[in-house]
Amino acid sequence: MEGGGAEEALICEICGVQFGPGQNPQVCPICTDERQFLPREGQKWTNLAKLKAHGHFANKWRKHEPGLYSFATEPKVGIGQRAFLIQTSHGNILWDCVSLLDEATVDIINALGGLKAIAISHPHFYATNAVWSATFGNVPVYIHESDKQWVMWEHNNVKYWNGDKLRILEGATLIRLGGHFSGGQILHWTEGASGKGVILTADILQVVMTRTEVSIMRSYPNYIPLSASHARHMACQMEPWEFERVYGSFWDAEIMSDGKSRVEYSLNRYIKWVTNEDLNV
């Protein structure tokens, strides 16, 4: 891995994002941005060596349907998001990322076919993507160019892209929705849900507690909403895509049926509440 020192490179304890070897920031720019926060006790740092020491942290796995697994680190590291392993006919994709990459996780992923690509929804979930990429053969890490300023370790395997959609493998397409971050992206997986289609949305489209709707925000912890124009843009971007299921950032954040109409309804509801208007796209 370029630069070396990955085990000791600083990781922000609040968001879990890793900085490049040799960097020594006073605070994490991602967490001092208005979409995130620093706790009252201030900035704290860790590293991979500490996370892997003594076996205190481990990645817990769950299978959702044929070809789709998720895992998250317990106890929670950073924001506590889960990542997904998607097995496609053309290779496996890691969707989103977690900070901890331990030997058990490497063994599981290799047993399931390794990785062909990594794609990450937005900066809060960049985690230790440089280490993940290097470990699995320097696979590309797809990040939208609009979020380039938030990449804290700009390694050679990051592949920035432009526009509104990018097919990274046959049947797997990134769709830029923006919103939470300018380059916020979701992943459409054609083979999912027995061919009816799946979207993996992180919190670009946040699956809410009913498990039947989604919502959108600029900042979830600081309760900063998005505008109706953002919601309309998202609705337009989603309209061409068929999907049955929606998988979000955290355990059980899933819409298991009628996903497209539930997303349409959710965005319509959001627009009505912020503008008293109906969705018209």
Query: Checking DSSP bridges between strand 45-46 and strand 11-12, what pairing results, if any?
Result: antiparallel
Number of domains within the chain:
1
User: For the packed helices 259-275 and 228-238, what is the interaxial angle rounded to 10 degrees?
Assistant: 160
CA nearest neighbour of 110 among 131, 88, 137: 137
Q: What is the pLDDT of residues 96-113, one digit of tens each?
A: 999 999 999 999 999 999
User: Residue 185: what pLDDT?
Assistant: 98
Q: Is residue 5, in this structure, part of any structural domain at all?
A: no
Per residue in 195-247, pLDDT tens?
999 999 999 999 999 999 999 999 999 999 999 999 999 999 999 999 999 99
Taking the CB of residue 54, how many other CB atoms lie within 10 A of it? 7
**Tokens matching residue 226:** 């998005």
Task: Tell me, yes or no, whether 280 lies in a domain.
Answer: no
Q: Which of 156, 159, 157 lies closest to 144, judged by CA?
A: 159
Residue 4 lies in a domain: no
Residue 99 falls inside a structural domain: yes
User: CB–CB of 126/100 below 8 Å?
Assistant: no
Strand order of the sheet with strand 141-144?
58-65, 68-74, 83-88, 91-95, 117-119, 141-144, 158-161
**Structure confidence at residue 276 (pLDDT):** 82
pLDDT > 90: percent of the chain: 96
Closest by CA to 236, choosing from 212, 264, 262, is: 264
Domain around 116: 11-39+59-275
Q: What is the CA radius of gyration of the chain?
A: 18
Q: Is residue 46 part of a domain?
A: no
| Length of the chain measured in residues | 281
Residue 52 domain-assigned?
Answer: no
- Which CATH number does the domain housing residue 127 bear? 3.60.15.10
Tell whether 178 is covered by a domain.
yes
Confidence label for 55 from pLDDT (cuts 50, 70 and 90): confident
Percent of the chain with pLDDT over 70: 97
Q: Name residue, tokens 């539930």.
A: 262
Report the distance separating Cα 255 and Cα 223, nearest Å.
23
Dihedral of CA 206/202/83/30: which sign? negative
Is the pTM higher than 0.85? The answer reads: yes
pLDDT tens-place string over residues 21-41? 999 999 999 999 999 999 999
Element housing 265 (H / E): helix 259-275
Give 60 or 1, the one with higher predicted confidence: 60
Whether the per-residue pLDDT at 277 is higher than 70: the answer is no
Question: For 5, phi and psi rounded to 5 degrees?
Answer: 75, 20
Q: For 242-267, how does the pLDDT look when each residue is reduced to its tens digit (9 = 90+)?
A: 999 999 999 999 999 999 999 999 99
Number of other CB atoms surrounding residue 44 within 10 Å:
12
- Domain annotation covers residue 234: yes
Host H or E run for residue 261: helix 259-275
